[in-house]
A and B are shown apart, each in its own frame.
Chain A
Amino acid sequence: MARIVGIDLGTTNSLIAYMNGKTPTVIAGDNGRTMVPSIVAETPNGLLVGDAAKDQLVKNAEHTVYSVKRFMGKGLADVTDELEYFPYKLSEENGVIRLHVGGKALTPPEISAMILKELKARAERFFGEEVRKAVITVPAYFNDSQRQATKDAGRIAGLDVMRIVNEPTAASLAYGLQKRKQGIIAVYDLGGGTFDISILKLKGGIFEVLATNGNTHLGGDDFDRRLVDVMVEEYKAASGKEPGPNMMQDLRMQAEQAKCQLSSETKAEVHLPPHKYRRVFTRDEFERMVADLVEKTLAPTKRVLADAGLSAADVDEVVLVGGSTRIPVVRQKVQVLFGKQPHCELNPDEVVALGAAVQAGILSGGIQDMLLLDVTPLTLGIETMGGVMSSLIARNTTIPTSAKEMFTTFMDGQTSVDIHILQGERELAQDNRSLARFQLKIPPLPAAVPRVEVTFMIDANGILSVTARDVRTGEAQSIEVKPSYGLSDQEVERMIHESFKFAQQDIKDRQRIEALNEAESIVRATEKALVRAAERPGLVSADELGRIRQAVTSLKQAMAGADHRPIREGIDVLNKASLGLAERLMDHTLQEALKDKKLSQI
């Protein structure tokens, strides 16, 4: 069977892994880093993804998309309270959010597909061959629409999505493989945008999920926002100015860094020289600011234990997953709740991708002794008379699973029955998530005579499919399902087509775009340096000036061409030519700063 890779498509970072013999291994990029920031930037030169796009966050905020996972499978109404954190315009069409970036209206699956393509290209460079099949992870508490949107993203990226796996379960696979453990484990997964808690029973190679719970809108992003909110208030009060979109992104990124720093140190500083803003946070202060967010993970944790029919003492081991579990106060809370030291031997950033690779190994037949039995996180039902939800498949039912329901007519000659499918735990239909509506076609007969049996099947991906059969004739009935929050098949087909059309161009373009952006910033920096040098006579010799100018001119020429290699060469030449000047300028600035100051003031 062809190679299957494992992908962790994260809110903040994404990773790709494969089975290296019996060991799951994450594939690093050219820069040696395993994580690809889940960021896409539209620049005048073209599209950037990952690390290159991250640089655009501060320079080009309105055209740089981050945390797109928060929008997957959602409508605009679902995200209104966080719109202020996103600098680009959002709209909704046919139940799907569109992000307006650089004159285009892109759906979250299309943007996720760009990240997936970046990962796919990384793996293809690594293997030296095409990669077509993948296992992609999602938060366990993702509903049907969010799972489907992830699958669509894979298809648009040219991937055959062999399986959608829940992140905490994937982590347990990586963990269980390494430890050969038996017993009850709890996986506490606090990532960039989502929280999951799963309880599993490990026995003889079977990984049986007993229950899962979570919050698809709680993660590291929310911790960052607490810091950002404080800084924005203080900045507004001190300067009387509203921070612009670029400053907001700078604040957000520095907040993220400060948060990470506070996991190992007791103090962290945010400093934005262009805005003359500086702020020091202590760990105590940070912990007070996020206490309620950490507290929010406890209710799902208690519910998951109740659903599994267990108490905290029954749990043999607790495994921490996701970058946010590095925060000391999160660890403390988990430890208190379960009364035992949580495990974090595996890198919490990589363990999900590693588990996805293990699942890929199971699907390709390379691993035969392990089997994951997962559950559906939310109750599935249909709307009945009076707007009440009637449950068909209870939450935490092992998947695949199915339920059958018989439908008939109330009026003579009635030719259709409307069915509204829902997911959620609330009593009223309107309080639950609408998945889809469809119309069941029925041959005209006296009331109550037709009998159509509808089968609701949730497959091993946690994705629902619906089939109908006329019981009298035994014939399959065709049904057309209209998803409430999802792309239609035609839309996905169109996107796949477009994506394919540009695929050849994409790789070459990407290298050129990255080189162009780098060249632009170095040309800009050099020109600035030359202006400053002109103000300080004697700093630069005519000969040196000539070489720098020459290097700038040839780089600009190379930038007009289609090949990225001459641009790279031009960047190198210019870097070398201007290095001496840059060093002297630096010294000069330092001396000026120190002038007229006593040693004690430094």
Chain B
Amino acid sequence: METVKKEIPMARSMCWHCQSDVGGEYFCGQCVKVQPLSKDIDYFTCLGLPRKLNIDTGRLETKFYEMSRAFHPDFYEGKSEIERAVSLTNSAVLNQAYRTLKDPAARVEYLLRLEAGSAKDIPGKAPTDLFETLLEIQEQLEQLRAMKHSKSGEARSIASQLHAEKGALESKRGALERRLTELFHVWDRLVDRSSQDQIAKAEKGPVLTEMRDIVSQRNYLNTMLTNIEEALA
């Protein structure tokens, strides 16, 4: 753990070093100094992608490796302190961008946050059609916890019921994920159309709402399934 006090230049349209126009490039065309990424850059823009949900992960990886070669601190050891600081922050942004977009679950949550303009994580929400089952599971989990690691017949029967209910939750999660995949395609088609089409823009709202709902139900199920697995372990 170290304390540091260094100021890094903010991204501007002008090179921080020679003041020539950099026009959004990573390196100044005049003095070849590395330029800071914009503080407000979103991860899609950072990796040169449209805000779509189906991503060619092979291409994403190639782009990530290419940009890593441009920004990684390993290549700035002999450079000035400012360039080293820019390399460090740019690499950090790039690494977070790649980590987020690589994983479809993180990718959709990030898109929902971007589009809704909120920085908060999406809270879990119980799927209403499973309400009774979920209540039952909660109760069984509590009973099992109260019995600690007892091997009694009662504990075994609760465990086997949980096993069955776990299957129900998993199939629900599967259904949610299939619907989410469909919505990924719906969303991407709207993105393609929306530049010239006002109706497409208007249609985005309900898609986002549905995706948000599915994501929050899936998050809820994930937590519940982890709890069940822990209790059965």
Binding site for B on A (CB under 8 A): 1, 144-145, 148, 162-163, 203-204, 206, 208, 362-365, 371-373, 397-402, 421, 435-436, 457, 459-460, 463-467, 476, 478-481, 483, 486
Contact = CB atoms under 8 A, between A and B. Distances in A.
A421 B1 contact: yes
A463 B3 CA distance: 11
Contacts of A204: 65
Contacts of B2: 148, 463-465
Contacts of A483: 1
Given A364-B78, A373-B68, A483-B1, 9 more contacts: A145-B1, A162-B77, A363-B74, A436-B1, A459-B73, A464-B1, A467-B5, A481-B1, A481-B3
A interface majority secondary structure: strand
A163 B72 CA distance: 13
B88 A400 contact: yes
B1 A463 contact: yes
A170 to B, nearest CB: 13
Contacts of B129: none
A476 B5 contact: yes
A401 B71 CA distance: 13
B20 interface: no
Contacts of A148: 1-2
A208 B65 CA distance: 9
Interface string B1-45: 111110100000000000000000000000000000000000000
A364 B88 contact: no
A480 B4 CA distance: 10
28 contacts: A1-B77, A1-B78, A144-B1, A148-B1, A203-B65, A206-B69, A362-B74, A363-B77, A364-B77, A365-B75, A365-B77, A371-B69, A371-B72, A371-B74, A373-B68, A397-B96, A398-B99, A401-B96, A402-B89, A435-B1, A436-B1, A457-B4, A460-B91, A465-B4, A466-B4, A467-B5, A478-B5, A481-B1
B14 to A, nearest CB: 20
Interface string B67-89: 01100111101100000000011
B195 to A, nearest CB: 32
Q: Chain B contact residues (Cβ within 8 angstroms of A): what range?
A: 20 to 34
A155 to B, nearest CB: 12
B187 interface: no
A371 B91 contact: no
Contact of B68 (A371, A464, A480, A486): A371
Contacts of A363: 74, 77
B3 A465 contact: yes
B95 interface: yes
Contacts of B89: 402
Contact of A401 (B7, B69, B95): B95
Interface in B97-151: 98-99
Contacts of A397: 95-96, 99
Nearest to B61: A203
A400 B68 CA distance: 11
A402 B98 CA distance: 13
A466 B1 contact: yes
Nearest to A208: B65
Nearest to A201: B61
Nearest to A423: B1
Given A371-B72, A400-B95, A479 B88 contact: no
B58 to A, nearest CB: 10
B99 A400 contact: no
B92 interface: yes
Nearest to B6: A467
Contact of A460 (B3, B7, B69, B73): B73
Contacts of A372: 74
Contacts of A1: 77-78
A372 B72 CA distance: 9
Contacts of B95: 373, 397-401
Contacts of B3: 465-466, 479-481
A400 B72 CA distance: 8
A1 to B, nearest CB: 5
A287 B7 CA distance: 57
Nearest to A204: B65
A460 B85 CA distance: 12
Given A402-B89, A467-B5, A460 B65 contact: no
Which of B3, B65, B73 has the most CB atoms of chain A within a 10 A radius of its CB?
B3
A175 B74 CA distance: 19
Contact of A402 (B7, B65, B78, B92): B92
Nearest to A467: B4
B1 A486 contact: yes
A471 to B, nearest CB: 13
B8 to A, nearest CB: 10
B230 to A, nearest CB: 11
Nearest to B78: A1
